[in-house]
Amino acid sequence: MEDQMIKEILVSEEQIKKRVKELGEQITKDYQGKEPVVVGILKGAVVFLSDLIREIKIPIHIDFMAVSSYGKSSISTGEVRIIKDLDFSVEEKDIIIVEDIIDTGLTLGYLKELLVKRGADSVKICTLLDKPERRKININVDYIGFTIPDEFIIGYGLDYNEKYRNYPFVAALKEEYYK
């Protein structure tokens, strides 16, 4: 590992495992008698989604979307582009959007509104990481793994220039590497 790039580990592998199990248990309880569609937002949410769905003990369906509001920058442009849309209709379905991190809220606000317009019965949001300091719109997040400070984050699915997603923890990247 390139430890010299890491400013500090914010969430350990053990903390993540414990919290993902708790989130899975809560979703299982909240959706008893239903079969929600779990929508993973590519690429960052893949690791979280993979661990989370193993902790959900009810029937579920899985689909994916790929969206971009960053381009190659470390700062959101605010413009949301759908790169890969869902394979299935969300009409009359209960949707759980699974995201790696929410900062401005613009992407998730856009996606939630889009899925409601497409006829979903309900749309809830589950995120591993929440950065409320960066919020630009008021968005209700139903399931939050961890609230973190305003740092550039890598690990557990989150990347910088498509690297570091495979780290089993969440760490802050030193500023000199992304500025």
Residues marked as catalytic: 103
Q: Comparing C-alpha atoms, which of 131, 108, 112, 109 is closest to residue 120? A: 112
Strand order of the β-sheet with 170-173 is 6-11, 170-173, 153-154
Burial status of residue 132 (CB atoms within 10 A of its CB: 0-12, 13-18, 19 or more): middle
Report the sign of the C-alpha dihedral through residues 149, 155, 157, 161, in that order: positive
Question: How many CB atoms are closer than 10 A to CB 82?
Answer: 13
Beta carbons of 108 and 65 less than 8 angstroms apart:
no
Question: How many CB atoms are closer than 10 A to CB 61?
Answer: 13
Q: Which residues contact 144 (CB under 8 A, 6 or more apart)?
A: 127, 130
